[in-house]
Every structure is written in C-alpha cells, then in structure tokens.
A = this chain, B = another copy of it.
C-alpha cells in the first residue's frame, strides 16, 4: 500500500502526528508486525474533514443536519420504559433479542420466511462485522478475493490478520481462484468507493461461482437505503436464501447497518449468516467486547419497530439527490477537462478517473490542501498499490452550495497541478 513518507507529506499542516520524546529514550517492547504496514490515513482524512476552513468531499459521512434527533430522544424514552434494566445490561453476545428477531423477520419477508434469530448477530456498526469475519477466517497469508478498488475500512479491518488479496472480476468470476480464498468480498449496492450498482445477472453469476468454489461471500450493504434513482436489484443474500433451507444456510454473509438509514453514532449493525458461522462470529465478538451496547441496540429496536429508519431514509433521499446533482453539474463545468465519471444511482460517492491517467491523485491531494478542499485519492482503496489516478468525491455531507464551492476549489487545484507540470500544461 502507501508510502508512509508520502502520507506524511500529504498531510503536513493538516494534522500533527504525536511525537513522544519518551518513546525515543525509554526502552519499550516493539509493536505487533502488522502495525509496521499500516498508517493513520483514515484518521487523518477525518481530521482534515473537521477543519472549519476546509471543504471536505473526503469522508463517508451522512448529513448531520438531517439526523432525526427528536425521534431518537423519544425512542430512548420508550426503550427505557419498555425494556428497563434489560436495555442497560451486558446482554447476550448475539445482541438484543427483540432486535435480532425483528431483523430476521424483515429479511424473511422477501424470501418466504427463511431467516430466524439464529441467523442474526448484532455488531457495533458493519465495521465490527468486518473485523470479526477477519478474526474468524483469516490466518496470515490466507487469500481474500475482493472487488477492487476496495472499501478502505475493510482493508484496515483485515490488516492485523495479514491476508493476501486477489481482485474479484464481476464480469467473469474465477471459480478456481475463489476456491483458494477464505472468502469473497463484495459491495453490490452503490459501492464504496466507485458508486457502482451491480446488475442482477452478475449478482446471480457471482453466487453461482461462489457456490461452485465452496467458499464464503461477504455482501457488504451499508448504502441500501440511499437509493437516488429507484430500488436496486434483490440482494445476493435473498437469492441464496431462496435456494436453501430454514434457518438460512447459504454461503452469503450479509452486513447491514443503521449508520446511513438513521445515524452512525448508535453503532448498530447486523450480520446475517448461516447459524454455525454466526456462532463462530459470536465467539470472536465475545473475545472483542463481551457484548454490544444493549442501550444502543434497544434504542435502535424502538426506531426500527416503528419503521423510523424507512420513513427517515425516504425523507432524506431528495436532499441527497440534489447534492449529487450539484456535485456532478458543477464538476462538468470545472473538472471535465481532466476527469471523467458516471453519475452514481445511489450511495454517497462519485468516482472520478483522470482522463488518460494524466493526473496522479496522491500528488493532486497536496494541491487540493492548498486550496482547502479534501477528497480521497484512489491509492488508499487499492491493495495492489498501483491505482493512483482516480479520486473518491463525497456528496452527502455538505449542503449543495458548499459542494459547488468544493468543486471549484478542486478545479483550481487541478489547474495548479497542471501548471506545475509543463508536459501536461502543453496538452
């Protein structure tokens, strides 16, 4: 992956790394090996996004001003009234029983009742599920076949287990390759970072290939409710469920969350999988945090039980659509000489690729910082370390006016970048 010196240069002036005099002078044991191969880039991007003078198109954050604060306060009151001390306990490692049952019921509705609570584990956001899947399946060197570019958080989550990677080809899944993998990682709905929506035929083809290969398929689905141009095809999970028994026993491990449909700060997500895999994930979770927050899970239950997430998601879609359109129309004016993109049908991101790979987006980032605008360069999503010519641009966090201003700054950053390179400026 990335060169730590380059990262440091990229962020100089954005966030100071904590230097400890003490660590230099006192002998202390060395950290674990994987830490030598990591960096604090996600943290740095979050820090850059938090600076009031920077327009951040970098993060993957929902719009804070749209959070349903009043509904959450009411749900908390109901949770404590209805569940009392059960909402304040350690509770079962699997999660708050009423919420597990409700999730099983929701997913059963579209698959003829294949899911029971034994198929459901509640986690601290989907991110914890990624960590647990790594813990359960990966020994150092084990293979993950992942769609590339890959969600940065997934790469972060698995790094401590030291896996190897090969890219997933959605157009022609490689059964022989997948047969060697511990699991396949996919984000079919409005992928992070590319915003791509995978069509139904390719979903089914991947499921067929995974079944043939005899491996697991992780279907990460955080953006499900962010449908800007109508509903996506059915999930791979539902296709797998229709083929199997009850309780669900298929190869798909499905991850969902309230982070986008309600708020991220509850840290409530769910994993659906066959019961044996759920039990293995439970063992790993018990060893990670004993149990999730029954408090947050009880509040989430009260919200989902009244379909607040469904109503709220539908309510915020028009605002996000407006923001996406603001980004894409302003980008057409200021960025299209050097970048090209497809308008994503949902999610949070536009993936912009430098025409003819002319622009190195790691380098561009430094110019963007000068202009006080942030994005995420492609290299952080790339386990091969080769793709340095695209960028992920977020459209959900800021108001349309701010997004347009960010795009104009990005345009100026590109101009400055191009001017500094005579061979490009001549083009």
Spell out A's residues near B (CB within 8 Å): 17-23, 26-29, 31-33, 35, 38, 40, 42-43, 46, 61, 64-65, 67, 69, 72-73, 76-77, 80, 84-93, 118, 124-125, 127-128, 131, 135-139, 142, 153, 156-157, 159-161, 181-183, 214-216, 244-245, 249, 251, 259, 263-267, 274-276, 278-280, 282-284, 286-296, 299
Contacts and interface: CB of A to CB of B under 8 A. Distances in A.
Contacts of A159: 287
B20 A274 contact: yes
A291 B32 CA distance: 21
9 contacts: A18-B275, A18-B276, A26-B251, A29-B183, A42-B290, A43-B286, A153-B290, A157-B288, A265-B294
Given A245-B22, A292-B267, A294-B265, A157 B38 contact: no
A283 B131 CA distance: 13
A303 to B, nearest CB: 12
A311 to B, nearest CB: 17
A128 B289 contact: yes
Contact of A265 (B32, B137, B280, B293): B293
A293 B266 contact: yes
Contact of A61 (B46, B61, B80, B90): B90
Contacts of A274: 20, 22-23
Q: A-side binding surface: helix, strand, loop or mixed? A: helix
A138 B153 CA distance: 22
A362 to B, nearest CB: 20
Given A32-B161, A43-B282, A76-B73, A287 B85 contact: no
Most chain B CB within a 10 A radius of its CB, from A266, A290, A295: A290
Contacts of A251: 26, 28
Contacts of A87: 265
Contacts of A263: 88-89, 295
A276 B135 contact: no
A377 to B, nearest CB: 18
Given A43-B93, A293-B124, A293-B265, A288 B131 contact: yes
Given A22-B274, A128-B288, A265-B293, 7 more contacts: A18-B118, A40-B282, A46-B92, A64-B88, A88-B266, A125-B289, A267-B295
A160 B20 contact: no
Nearest to A284: B160
A42 B286 contact: yes
A109 B160 CA distance: 37
